[in-house]
């Protein structure tokens, strides 16, 4: 449930402030009782609020507490969070990288390292291993966390349009050939200079430089880019 109405947000704000409250403690004086009860019942039906019949008090449910934890407390609007991904930098003995070309918008024909969102509850290494298999079909590469980069993308007016937190893993593979594709992407072995073209995912050439300069130490960097869409 996403809470849009200002009365429902006011109810959540009041219940955040205490363990349990009576109807009279959460209803604003300026709001008519039937209207307020309608919105309170909407929150109960949505699973965010519960009523204890013995005490006649209202509390946030587990789902309601999770909703509050993800919200801006003064407004009770859900906060946008950075996208959490893993990026896989895997080379073969010839120095070629596993590269991925997107065949869907908004990054049609853009090339970069295989990457993907971290699933809820996943460990970082689990996410990296799963993404490598999903994007290349490969399972036998030992991946090592190289570092973390935080990337903010702005449009031409300066408005933030994307915020990505990327955990970079690297590894070596014995592959000599790779052709792996589906309707959304194709993966193949390619040279590093392909990451320095116009249609390259921003941040990926910076990743190569960070890995080459890290001497095996974990790196943490932040970058600001102009968005490509």
The residue segments making up the domain with residue 32 are 6-78
Shared domain for 60 and 162, answered yes or no, is no
- Alpha helix locations (H) across 46-193? 62-69, 124-136
| pLDDT at residue 128, rounded to an integer | 98
**In angstroms, rounded to a whole number, what is the distance separating the alpha carbons of residues 129 and 143?**
7
**What count of residues does the chain have?**
229
Query: Using N-to-C axis directions, what is the helix angle for 33-45 and 6-16, rounded to 10°?
Result: 70
Shared domain for 74 and 87, answered yes or no, is no
Shared domain for 70 and 108, answered yes or no, is no
Contacts of 27 (CB under 8 A, 6+ apart): 33, 36
Residue where a domain terminates, one of 51, 78, 105? 78
Residues 121-126: contacts with CB under 8 Å, at least 24 apart: 124/86, 124/167, 124/169, 125/169
- Please, is 93 exposed, middle or buried when counting C-beta atoms within 10 Å of its C-beta (0-12, 13-18, 19+)? exposed
The neighbour count for residue 55, using CB atoms within 10 Å, is 10
The neighbour count for residue 109, using CB atoms within 10 Å, is 11
| pLDDT at residue 19, rounded to an integer | 79
Q: Give the residue ranges of the chain where pLDDT is below 70.
A: none
CATH code, domain with 44: 1.10.10.10
Q: What is the pTM of this model?
A: 0.85
Shared domain for 56 and 129, answered yes or no, is no
| pLDDT at residue 229, rounded to an integer | 76
| pLDDT at residue 31, rounded to an integer | 95
| pLDDT at residue 228, rounded to an integer | 86
pLDDT digits (tens, 9 = 90+) for 152-172: 999 999 999 999 999 999 999
Cis before 106 (ω within 30): yes
Shared domain for 70 and 118, answered yes or no, is no
Shared domain for 198 and 125, answered yes or no, is yes
| pLDDT at residue 41, rounded to an integer | 96
């Amino acid at each position: 449930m996403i809470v849009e109405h200002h009365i429902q947000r006011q109810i959540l704000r009041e219940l955040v402030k205490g363990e349990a409250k009576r109807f009279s403690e959460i209803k604003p004086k300026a709001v008519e009782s039937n209207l307020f009860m309608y919105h309170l019942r909407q929150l109960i039906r949505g699973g965010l609020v519960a009523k204890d019949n013995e005490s006649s008090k209202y509390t946030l449910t587990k789902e309601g507490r999770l909703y509050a934890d993800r919200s801006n407390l003064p407004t009770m609007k859900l906060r946008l969070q950075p996208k959490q991904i893993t990026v896989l930098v895997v080379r073969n003995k010839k120095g070629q990288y596993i590269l991925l070309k997107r065949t869907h918008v908004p990054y049609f024909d853009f090339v970069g390292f295989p990457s993907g969102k971290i699933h809820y509850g996943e460990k970082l290494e689990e996410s990296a291993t799963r993404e490598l298999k999903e994007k290349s079909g490969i399972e036998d590469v030992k991946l090592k966390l190289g570092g973390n980069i935080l990337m903010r993308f702005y449009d031409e007016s300066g408005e933030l349009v994307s915020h990505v937190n990327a955990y970079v893993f690297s590894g070596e593979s014995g592959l000599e050939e790779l052709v792996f594709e589906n309707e959304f992407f194709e993966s193949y072995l390619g040279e590093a200079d392909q990451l320095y073209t116009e249609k390259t995912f921003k941040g990926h050439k910076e990743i190569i430089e960070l890995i080459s300069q890290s001497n095996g130490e974990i790196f943490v960097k932040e970058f600001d880019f102009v968005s490509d869409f």
